[in-house]
Structure 1
Amino acid sequence: MARKKKKNKGILENKLSIAFVTTVVLAMAIALGVKVNSIKKELASREAYNQKVVEKLDSEEQRAKKLEEQRKYVQTDSYIIEMAREKLGLVFPNEIAIKAEK
């Protein structure tokens, strides 16, 4: 009888140990799943931010290119003539200036 009690007690302890280990493993799996999900969200957020930064960089590069073209144009004779005509109303000696009435 004592042997049967001891055997039953050992089986019960084994079942409790298995249940405990299973519970710990499940808890760790859930915690790991939550952490992986959190990391995926953070990664998606950073990728979206990186995409915005790349788009902004492209936009600024295009803007810098346009400004460089404008800087070169401002240094040309055609720009100087255009501004002299528009802003100062100057004309070449062989031209006649005609102004529209407002």
Structure 2
Amino acid sequence: MEETRKKNRGKKRSRRMQRHRTSVLAVSAVIILLLAVVSVNSVTLKAQESEYETQIAELESQIDEEKSRSKQIDKLEEYVGTDEYIEDVAKDKLGLIHENEIIFRAQ
């Protein structure tokens, strides 16, 4: 009788060990799968980050260009308000001159 009990205990242990191994393998497989997914997403995010950094650099250079263009426009606006600009436009577009100026034309 005692031998039967020992055999039954041995079978139960064997079954438990088998279940334990299966559980450990299943958990290990899930962890490995999660690791693979996280790694792939990490690589994708790094590539996307690189693209964004390039885009940021381009936008910053455009901002600098627009700032310099804005300064040029401000200077032009100041120049347009002066008498010198009015005289230049009168000479170029209307052909007007001052009373004491002499015009030389090529023949």
Question: What TM-score, normalized to structure 1?
Answer: 0.82
Larger Rg: 2
**Does 1:46 find its partner at 2:69?**
no
The aligned counterpart of 2:8 is 2
| Equivalences for residues 17-28 of structure 1 within 5 A | 17-28=23-34
In structure 2, C-alpha distance between the alignment counterparts of 1:98 and 1:79, rounded to whole Å? 22
Unaligned runs of 5+ residues in structure 2 are 1-6
The aligned counterpart of 1:76 is 82
The aligned counterpart of 1:98 is 104
In structure 2, C-alpha distance between the alignment counterparts of 1:94 and 1:60, rounded to whole Å? 43
Q: Which region of structure 1 is more displaced relative to structure 2, 14-23 or 35-44?
A: 35-44
Write out per-residue CA displacement over residues 8-32 of structure 1, whole angstroms, 9 at most, x where no aligned residue: 2222222111111110111111111
- Deviant stretches of 4+, over 4 Å: none
CA displacement at 1:66 relative to structure 2: 0.4
Unaligned runs of 5+ residues in structure 1 are none
Write out per-residue CA displacement over residues 56-99 of structure 1, whole angstroms, 9 at most, x where no aligned residue: 22211111110110111122222222222222222221221111
Q: Aligned pair count?
A: 101
Q: Which region of structure 1 is more displaced relative to structure 2, 92-101 or 41-50?
A: 41-50
Matched to 1:57, the amino acid is: I
CA RMSD, 1 decimal: 1.8
**Percent of pairs identical after alignment?**
28
